[in-house]
Structure 1
């Protein structure tokens, strides 16, 4: 797929159908049963993957995706896991097809991670198994997961790298099983080039097992219903999802909607030089284009984004999430290729969202989260019941690592720290939760302390008051670690030097921070993106994640909700009066109704 396209057309991740089956009528009950079977298969694949995986990022955080696909990579179903992983698998398959189409055999297992040929980024190993029925290739079972290390210039996560080869071992459409015969030499070569061979071996076996259960379940469906009925049903579900999304798009007035240009802290090397993220949402009839023209030129570090494997999935995920939110619609709408069809994306070649080979694009999650955040903010004026205020929108991935006791490998632990959501119509922002383009869970402190030389001193909500709004912003997390051994630190986070934006009268949120040895005479503020930083034994690392923006005029917030936040110590009585016009009697800790009425009336009169 060409990257250099005109913004009048854009590029979609939706696939083209090459039918190897006959379209037949399917009764409604069978359609529902097959739809449920597809959905449960994808979920089972994810369960197998995260229960078998060795690395904590897959096993505990569930940083993975799984699903079934047709021969062209069209998504038939996906797991309830990280949307970036699921949404990128069609691009993986297209990247693999460009090299292997026509060569597949029963028993093949393909491993792939090339970011310029569909992968979301190189640490996301993708395993794809071609599915055969009566001697014919009819589809794929595929899954992805973020492995602990892929080699490269630094353990776990790296920012300051010269090109894509420096990221680590690139695996481009390699058959690790060829016709059922395992290529042990190739697998050993891959594992010999990573710092965490035991973890990667376990994760690779888990990925293979996940794809195999998908293959098995799909063949069972074919045995019961036949190829024509199963694929006709899948086609109906894809058409249904497409029409449901198009109907929501048609309800938006045609036009061009722009978010204020956002700025990421830096690129991990050129300090204090912000990186621009510009987002325009073009609505025409029942289609949407996400135009990233005006975003920063590509940078000389890993802080670029694979276009097909990451930009396109975030465009689709954002629009689907906003318009088909299960909280505000009653109909069940499965995620599949139909959701990709009405949404296109464009990014000029040579920018951070469409880099020229061989620029590194290892660290791409903070950028795509800001795209999602900006799409929300751009559409908030015309979709006030759907959009949310600014969120933390910065996946805070930090890799801690060191030489293992055997002296021959490394321990690597990758932590996803929790930010927060902005407020939205009818709901306060969620506190201390991964936001927007991710769905990863926090790792239990007990699991980390059991396996690594780190101790948690603090893990709680931030002390700062949440962003005021009719619906207040969420509160970010505050975590503090004590290092019990010298530890390498790599981070691809973003502190949100421009804090999460308030929407429709809500206040802005609060930026985050990284501080070493906070509160001591050795206190040092660190950049959000670091490579090869050493945290010495006895040092502490203090991490504050951004808090989301408020939604709506805070003086319209229900006074009892303000009082409840005072009771919960999210606000002081002074905060309540200044930001919300609510007077709290600090003798009885109740609302002073008369004082509140006067304060709010005075504000209204201005």
Structure 2
């Protein structure tokens, strides 16, 4: 029987231990821990400052860190959890072909979604680190590039299989012992629509990993291999122990999330996709079981199990139980946080597709896993769980033929949703949520470089979901096209709106509308493949608003007044949903009328 690690990944063939464990005093332990943390952050800084594409440079859709020879994460950057959490799977995928062949100066490019990659647009660069002639680890990073070829520019939905997604690179040495493979790199760039952007992003990814290699070797030179790796082991064991302590506080049992449904698969309209999540807690282990979720689909809307599902489960468990705002002790994010969390999804389903099904567009699904884990545990974690969040990454690719007629311009933006309310706090407005953690793309970025004008970018007009702590408000963005433009989207409008908790109301669904407010107004599906907007057309994107937490009639009346004065809710909303009577002329709460309203209910 093949041994399995806590994430359910085979450990057969791992590299042998390459250092001697020694005692590390507490001060040195802290210093090395801080150094590891700084290395990962500096790696991310150089990547997003050097990158050409706005998705990496502005949205910071990236991850970086240092890993040991077995792919265990020693440290990660403060960026997208999805990118950081998937890098160990990239290393396992690369190891299956290259283990035993690494040499100093190697640079490996990888993006195969059935061999560890989060999905094919996420280029991964891994550099094996050698110390004293021995392979002791990797410096690695990932970033979402603008285009990888394939059927459609930027983002694709209605594609037949994984090869149609674009150029697959399975463990390719683009530097072999320091020698750059110009022909291979040129071949890669010749097969994408944005060669200049991809070339710049590739160099940024290489620079990021080289910096990580350099900084880690400096740390080894100063303290020695045995001390550094022994300290890293201690930090990983510490993080694992802290997380397991929190898991043991949850009563053993099975916790079932409310069933939820994704809009569709991008082709078969009006066929919602079921997401079923059960969280099983036994002692200090957590297993997230996705049995009952929809089967795999014939479009790109499937999810790589190892590269996307496993990191999501680990991130959700760690985030809920070791929330930095509620945890006094510093707990670093590393391999120790992955160990207690396991996932299971039957083969041939949405969350574990059979090769060669396409799995290009997978983020709305994994955000729904995160949201569902949170809702499943809400009864036993009332001070940590949040009401339903937007939980649907809204990635849209705009594209068109460049003026030279030889290439395309491709722009990918991520629009902002919101969080649900939580016990003690309102939901956060207009932010990317859960696994994504990306920043907004400034409107100036697009207007400067492409033929589009932003007519609107702000909070939605509709009031937030009522609750003792209200839900967050999603964003609304409206673009006017100055030239014929193609649009590809992998979003999810949340046709079943985010759930309220403890008496809070449900949130609001999102929408895509072409030419909103005109006689040519036309609703669009959340997932589209090469939808055309003609010059002069507009596209309005509304992101879901999160659910409310707690009974709205228990919301502080003065806070309801602030919401009215901020134009978040109307006087009628305050009366109907919160039982608060507002004297708008006096900008005050009518205390007597409010008491009557609330007591009458």
TM-score range, shorter chain: over 0.9
Indicate if the aligned counterparts of 1:10 and 1:289 stay in contact, CA closer than 8 A. Answer: no
Indicate if the aligned counterparts of 2:7 and 2:338 stay in contact, CA closer than 8 A. Answer: no
1:479 to 477, 480, 493: 477
Displacement of 1:602 after TM fit?
Answer: 1.5
Indicate if the aligned counterparts of 1:470 and 1:558 stay in contact, CA closer than 8 A. Answer: yes
The whole-number CA distance in structure 2 between the counterparts of 1:437 and 1:558 is: 31
User: Hey, what does 2:503 align to over in structure 1?
Assistant: 505
Q: Does 1:335 align with 2:333?
A: yes
1:165 to 163, 166, 169: 163
CA 1:580 to 1:277, structure 2 compared with 1: closer, same or farther past 3 Å?
A: same
The whole-number CA distance in structure 2 between the counterparts of 1:106 and 1:368 is: 36
CA 1:2 to 1:420, structure 2 compared with 1: closer, same or farther past 3 Å?
A: farther
Displacement of 1:586 after TM fit?
Answer: 2.6
The whole-number CA distance in structure 2 between the counterparts of 1:153 and 1:13 is: 34
Please identify, of 11-20 and 183-192, the stretch whose mean Cα deviation from structure 2 is larger: 11-20
2:421 to 420, 423, 440: 423
Indicate if the aligned counterparts of 1:467 and 1:507 stay in contact, CA closer than 8 A. Answer: yes
Correspondences of 1:520-559 after superposition (within 5 Å): 520-559=518-557
Indicate if the aligned counterparts of 1:67 and 1:141 stay in contact, CA closer than 8 A. Answer: yes
1:292 to 278, 290, 293: 290
The whole-number CA distance in structure 2 between the counterparts of 1:2 and 1:142 is: 27
Displacement of 1:17 after TM fit?
Answer: 7.7
Cα distance per residue 1:370-415 (max 9 Å; x no partner): 0000011111111000000000000000000001111111110000
Partner SS for 1:443: coil
Partner SS for 2:398: strand
The whole-number CA distance in structure 1 between the counterparts of 2:445 and 2:436 is: 21
The whole-number CA distance in structure 2 between the counterparts of 1:74 and 1:154 is: 35
* Superposition TM-score, scaled by structure 1 size: 0.97
Indicate if the aligned counterparts of 1:304 and 1:352 stay in contact, CA closer than 8 A. Answer: yes
Partner SS for 1:138: strand
Displacement of 1:12 after TM fit?
Answer: 5.8
CA 1:568 to 1:2, structure 2 compared with 1: closer, same or farther past 3 Å?
A: farther
Q: How many residues align?
A: 599
User: Hey, what does 2:379 align to over in structure 1?
Assistant: 381
User: Hey, what does 1:36 align to over in structure 2?
Assistant: 34
CA 1:12 to 1:556, structure 2 compared with 1: closer, same or farther past 3 Å?
A: farther
Cα distance per residue 1:108-155 (max 9 Å; x no partner): 000000000000000000000000001000000000000000000000
The whole-number CA distance in structure 1 between the counterparts of 2:299 and 2:593 is: 56
* Superposition TM-score, scaled by structure 2 size: 0.98
Cα distance per residue 1:515-537 (max 9 Å; x no partner): 00011111110000000111110
Partner SS for 1:96: helix
Displacement of 1:194 after TM fit?
Answer: 0.2
User: Hey, what does 2:8 align to over in structure 1?
Assistant: 11
Displacement of 1:594 after TM fit?
Answer: 1.0
Indicate if the aligned counterparts of 1:14 and 1:337 stay in contact, CA closer than 8 A. Answer: no
Partner SS for 2:45: helix
The whole-number CA distance in structure 1 between the counterparts of 2:168 and 2:139 is: 22
The whole-number CA distance in structure 2 between the counterparts of 1:561 and 1:249 is: 35
Q: Does 1:184 align with 2:147?
A: no
Cα distance per residue 1:65-86 (max 9 Å; x no partner): 0000000100000000000000
User: Hey, what does 1:270 align to over in structure 2?
Assistant: 268
2:46 to 45, 48, 66: 48
Partner SS for 1:522: coil
1:597 to 590, 595, 598: 595
Partner SS for 1:115: coil
User: Hey, what does 2:432 align to over in structure 1?
Assistant: 434
CA 1:17 to 1:253, structure 2 compared with 1: closer, same or farther past 3 Å?
A: farther
Segments of structure 2 that go 5 or more residues without pairing to the other structure are none
